[in-house]
């Protein structure tokens, strides 16, 4: 296979972890007989500094010619003013909107070797393997809003259409059908009109998936169950804001944000792939960042956009083997135990990838 991938390393530790993702892709290409080419493009704070915009026209043009996008991270203290008219996060939101990346997939898998690193009792994490499907282009993040300005009020609008909910629900039901056939749909239908629409639309889609067990869970109850009994969940479907919050909560189950990948897909399976951690400016440039979330994002890129399932599984198996061998970065190491740097951890994974 030939594929062209745009990399947008972004800010903070983004360039470091994306570089490791490219190393993995190059090894996969050599091992399985593929040809991957890469174009690096500016996004986020570095793009603001260079060109005055978080999403330059050149970056959009590059992405439009790509088979997939591999993103590092955007943002940092330099651009932290939430009232600034131009902010790094606008670049990421712009990509999602431009390519209609409506379905965000965030797997949360607990590795037995790391169960002791999570703040929950290890027995609560036995068998935890959750796939979050977060609707990504609607909700309060994209609804009508008004800044305070010189007045005394401001507002953001939580809005959904039936079609927006239905297409995200189809992705979630199809994923559940290939897993344990359980789907939890998260809403706040007891309070919010938009969430009552959400529940009705999900129920309509459920009629086409009679083999999948559907439950509706209020968002506050879901937050509690994720801590008390996370193994009850298989696939979790949520709107943009609730999904954003719940997936960050669920990240603690894995012991570190540095373990969790994500994929943002459109109807044609074109996708943007990124670790869910931030730019971590406190460790940027120090070879301390955990590359696993990015490497697992690369596996998702191969699986969903390039349809290379065997290659994706090979990467995931190599990560599993590296962890089982005792390889740890600082964020997942026992207190006082030796830790590998970003490149050395990737070296270990490459060893098991072969």
Q: Looking at residue 214, which CATH number applies to its domain?
A: 3.40.718.10
**Does any domain span residue 91?**
yes
- Verify that 293 and 238 share a domain, yes or no: no
At which of 220, 254, 288 does a domain end? 254
Tell me how far apart the alpha carbons of residues 13 and 274 are, in angstroms, rounded to a whole number: 12
CB 41 within 8 A of CB 60: no
Residue 129 annotated to the active site: no
Query: Are 45 and 79 in contact, with CB atoms under 8 Å apart?
Result: yes
Q: 272 and 246: one domain?
A: no
The residue among 223, 254, 285 that closes a domain is 254
Query: Which of the residues 78, 182, 188, 287 is marked catalytic?
Result: 188
Residue 113 falls inside a structural domain: no
Spell out the per-residue pLDDT of the chain, length 354, in tens.
999 999 999 999 999 999 999 999 999 999 999 999 999 999 999 999 999 999 999 999 999 999 999 999 999 999 988 888 999 999 998 999 899 999 999 999 999 888 888 888 889 999 899 999 999 999 998 899 998 888 899 999 999 999 999 999 999 999 999 999 999 999 999 999 999 999 999 999 999 999 999 999 999 999 999 999 999 999 999 999 999 999 989 988 988 889 999 999 999 989 999 999 999 999 999 999 999 999 999 999 999 999 999 999 999 999 999 999 999 999 999 888 899 999 999 999 999 999
Residue 127 shares a structural domain with residue 249: yes
Annotate 289-309 with DSSP letters as a single string.
Answer: S--HHHHHHHHHIIIIIS--H
The yes-or-no answer on residue 244 being catalytic is: yes
Q: Taking the CB of residue 159, how many other CB atoms lie within 10 A of it? A: 15
Domain shared by 131 and 171, yes or no: yes
0.95 surpassed by pTM: no
Q: Catalytic annotation on 324?
A: no
The answer to whether residues 81 and 159 belong to one domain is: no
Active-site residue, from 67, 139, 234, 244? 244
109 within a domain of the structure (yes/no): no
- Does any domain span residue 338? yes
Q: Is residue 48 part of a domain?
A: yes
Tell me: do 140 and 244 sit in the same domain.
yes
Run of H or E including 345: helix 342-353
Taken in order 221, 226, 232, 235, the sign of the CA dihedral is positive
Q: Are residues 236 and 141 in the same domain?
A: yes
Q: Do 97 and 125 reside in the same domain of the chain? A: no
Q: Is residue 344 part of a domain?
A: yes
Indicate whether 27 and 58 sit together in one domain.
yes
Q: Which residue among 254, 276, 309 closes a domain?
A: 254
Choice among 80, 163, 220, 282 that is catalytic: 220
Catalytic residue among 100, 248, 287, 347: 248
State how many domains the chain has: 2
- 220 given a catalytic annotation: yes
Beta bridge partners of 40: 7
Any catalytic annotation for residue 65? no
173 and 213: one domain? yes
Residue 42 lies in a domain: yes
State the pLDDT at residue 313.
97
Which of 141, 160, 273, 304 is labelled catalytic?
141
Integer angstrom CA distances of residue 279 from 122, 129, 132, 348: 29, 26, 22, 23
- pLDDT for the residue 53: 97
In a domain, 195, yes or no: yes
Tell me: do 150 and 214 sit in the same domain: yes
Same domain membership, residue 98 and residue 24: yes
Instruction: Tell me which residue range forms the domain holding 92.
Output: 1-104+260-354
Q: How far apart are CA 320 and CA 318, in angstroms?
A: 5
């Amino acid at each position: 296979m030939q594929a062209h991938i745009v990399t947008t390393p972004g800010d903070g530790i983004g360039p470091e972890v994306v570089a490791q993702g490219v190393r993995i892709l190059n090894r996969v290409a050599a091992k399985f007989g593929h040809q991957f080419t890469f174009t690096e493009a500016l996004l986020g704070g570095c793009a603001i500094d260079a060109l005055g915009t978080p999403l330059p026209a050149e970056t959009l043009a590059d992405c439009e010619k790509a088979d997939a996008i591999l993103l590092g991270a955007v943002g940092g203290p330099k651009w932290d003013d939430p009232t600034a008219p131009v902010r790094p996060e606008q670049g990421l939101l712009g990509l999602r909107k431009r390519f209609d990346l409506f379905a965000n997939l965030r797997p949360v898998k607990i590795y037995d070797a790391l169960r002791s690193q999570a703040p929950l009792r290890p027995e609560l994490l036995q068998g935890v393997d959750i796939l979050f499907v977060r609707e990504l282009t609607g909700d309060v993040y994209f609804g009508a809003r008004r800044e305070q300005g010189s007045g005394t009020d401001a507002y953001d609008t939580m809005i959904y259409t039936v079609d927006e909910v239905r297409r995200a629900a189809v992705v979630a039901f199809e994923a559940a059908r290939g897993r344990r056939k359980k789907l939890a749909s998260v809403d706040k239908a007891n309070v919010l009109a938009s969430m009552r629409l959400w529940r009705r639309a999900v129920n309509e889609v459920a009629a086409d998936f009679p083999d999948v067990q559907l439950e509706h869970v209020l968002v506050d109850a879901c937050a509690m169950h994720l801590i008390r009994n996370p193994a009850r969940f298989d696939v979790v479907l949520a709107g943009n804001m609730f999904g954003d919050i719940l997936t960050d909560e669920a990240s603690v189950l894995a012991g570190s944000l540095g373990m969790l990948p994500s994929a943002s897909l459109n109807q044609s399976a074109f996708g943007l792939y990124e670790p869910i951690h931030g730019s971590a400016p406190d460790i940027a440039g120090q070879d301390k960042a955990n590359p696993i979330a990015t490497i697992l994002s690369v596996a998702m890129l191969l699986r969903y956009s390039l349809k290379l399932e065997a290659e994706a599984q090979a990467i995931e198996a190599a990560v599993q083997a590296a962890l089982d061998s005792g390889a740890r970065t600082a964020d997942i190491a026992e207190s006082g135990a030796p830790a590998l740097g970003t490149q050395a951890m990737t070296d270990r994974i490459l060893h098991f990838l072969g």
